[in-house]
Structure formats: C-alpha cells, structure tokens
Amino acid sequence: MRADRLVAALLVMQARGRVTAADLAEELEVSVATARRDLEALSAAGIPVYPQPGRGGGWSLVGGARTDLSGLSAAEAQALFLLVGPAAAVSGEAKAALRKLVQALPRTFRADAEAAASATMIDPTRWGERDRHRPELVDLLQSAVVGKRKVRLTYRDRGERLIDPWGLVDKDDIWYLIAGTERGQRTFRVDRIVAAEPTDEPAERPDDFALAQAWETVVGEVEEKRSRTWATVLVESRFVWVLQDHFGRHCETEAELPGGRSRVRLAAPTPRDLARTLAGWGSMIEVLDPPSVQVELGRIGAELASLYGDRRSDGGSSAVGVR
C-alpha cells in the first residue's frame, strides 16, 4: 500500500540523510518511477522533503539525517499522519510504523498527530455502484475532526443541524462521516451533504470512541439490511466477474461446474430487489432458489410479456409499422 511506502521512504531518508529515487526504489523494491512519485507526494503533503539536482544530488529531509522526527512542525506532523493514518486500518505494517512515528515525535505534537491519524480510515470493500470522486468537503470535515470543532451541517432533505465530527471513512472512494448529534451517533454520506460550516465551538467526543470499532458496527447494520435475501443462481463462469462487480461482497462463488458454468450466491434486501437486478439477464441466469425470487422473476416476465409481447420484432408496434 502506498501509505506504507511513504512511511518507509521517510524513515530511509532519516537514516541516510540523502537518497536518490534509484536508491529508494532498490530499498523499497519498487520501480524508480514509483519511488519518485512517492517522494513528490511527501513533498506535496507538506513534509520537509526537497530534491537537489545535479551530480551527487538526490532527495533530502530538511535538517539532514537524524534519528527522530523533531524537525517536523506541528502542521507537517499532521500532514504526514493524515497520509499514513488511513492505511493503518487495513495494514498491520502501517499500524506498527504509525506507533513508532508517534513515539518519535516531540511530546507537544503527539496529541495532534494521533488525532490526525485517527481522523480517517479506509474500508476497501464497496457497497453497490461506486463514484470515484473525492467530495470537496472531505478536507474541511477532516480539519474539523482533527481540530475538534463542531460543524453546522446541511444534509440532503434533512435540513440543518449542529454535529460533533468524530471521524471519516473512505469506503472505496465513497466517503462517510461519523458524528455525534443530539440523537446520538449518526453516519452521513459526504456526497449528500449540501453544506458544512465549521464553528468555533469545541466538539465533544466520547473518551472511548474508536473509529474502526464504530465503523465496524455501522457496516454490520448495513450488511444485515442489504443481505436479508440470498439466492443461488447458475451463470456462465465468464460472467461471474460482472456479478462480483455489481454485488460486491454480496456475491459468493460456491462452485465451478462442468460445461463452463458456476453456482453463485447473491444477496439483496428483498426478493424483489434481487429479481429486478437479475431480470435483465434473461435466460443467461437461472435462479435455483429461493422460490420467492423465482416468483418475482415470473411476475416481472409476465408484466413485460403483457406490455411488449405483441410488438413487432423489427421494433414497430402492432398498430403502427415501420417502413
């Protein structure tokens, strides 16, 4: 994961004082182009890393080689931990590196750095279709989480409310905000937030709040709603990836069968939801069970046959032909 490499690159530079992209590529076992992009990412994030052109040049950490991070300012430490923090949720190596980095920081910076590291997490498994777009409000909300400031938030069709921002989750490029409200913990999809305005009022956050645990609870509740109905289907093996892309974690391949077909398990909230999705496949998918989904498919098929069954095959209707 890239954040792991960013941490490793910074530690290598601290140990050596100056490295070339080729040196770093060899150390991290990546391409020179990848190493160069990582160095540029550190610099762009506000970490005091800069290149020296010419013979004998390379990339250096301001202040030269050292064994701790005492040369970082508070803002620079926050920038680094905002980069690394999300990776710790899905990578044991990144989590270990994060702990070491926290201990290497000056004591006065540790609280802010830890807040930045825990402000955001990554959940790589998606729900349904995805929109690869980072909402502009993410940075604003992230700052509010780290700065512990209440936010006046306007949510789609819900009006305005004052919330305590607790953490952000990037679920395969769909962002969610977990926050405290007058009715308790709530989860907001960031791309449905119409407006957000940080205030000067300090935000309240439970002492025992942990973003990863809170998100695990949210996921459990959503998954329960999204997987109340399971169906077993037969489909050509070459199309299984299409089902996986659409259903995400609610698609499980049970077995590959003779003749190039696979038996697959699919889930959705209701039999009707499953049937609506599978109806477009026509006879390419055979539903083995449950009967409730088969009945819904039969109903949809009957409705379509009633509406379109008397249409001409050339695209015209029975009343008006196309010449």
Asked if pLDDT for residue 40 goes beyond 90, the answer is no
**Does the pTM of the predicted model rise above 0.75?**
no
DSSP string, 198-266: EEEEEPP--TT--HHHHHHHHHHHHHHHHTSEEEEEEEEGGGHHHHHHHHGGGEEEEEEETTTEEEEEE
- Higher model confidence: residue 251 or residue 134? 251
All structural domains of the chain with their residue ranges:
2-112, 123-224, 227-308
Look at residue 239 and tell me whether its pLDDT is greater than 90: yes
Mean pLDDT calculated for residue range 131-152: 82
Residues 256/195, Cβ–Cβ less than 8 Å: no
Q: What is the pLDDT of residues 77-91, one digit of tens each?
A: 556 666 555 555 545
Pick from 23-27, 52-56, 138-142: least confident: 52-56
User: Quick one: pLDDT band at residue 317, thresholds 50, 70, 90?
Assistant: very low
Average pLDDT over residues 21-30: 83
- DSSP structure string for 47-93: -SEEEE-STT-EEEETT-S-SSSTT--HHHHHHHHHHHHHHHTT-HH
Q: Quickly name the fold that domain 227-308 has.
A: Alpha-Beta Plaits (3.30.70)
- The topology under which CATH files domain 123-224 is SH3 type barrels. (2.30.30)
Q: For the segment 149-201, what is each residue's pLDDT rounded down to a tens digit?
A: 999 999 887 788 999 999 988 877 788 999 999 989 999 999 899 999 999 99
Q: How far is the C-alpha of 216 from the C-alpha of 267, rounded, in Å?
A: 20
Topology alike, domains 2-112 and 123-224: no
| Model confidence band, residue 34 (pLDDT cutoffs 50, 70, 90) | confident
CATH fold of 2-112: Arc Repressor Mutant, subunit A (1.10.10)
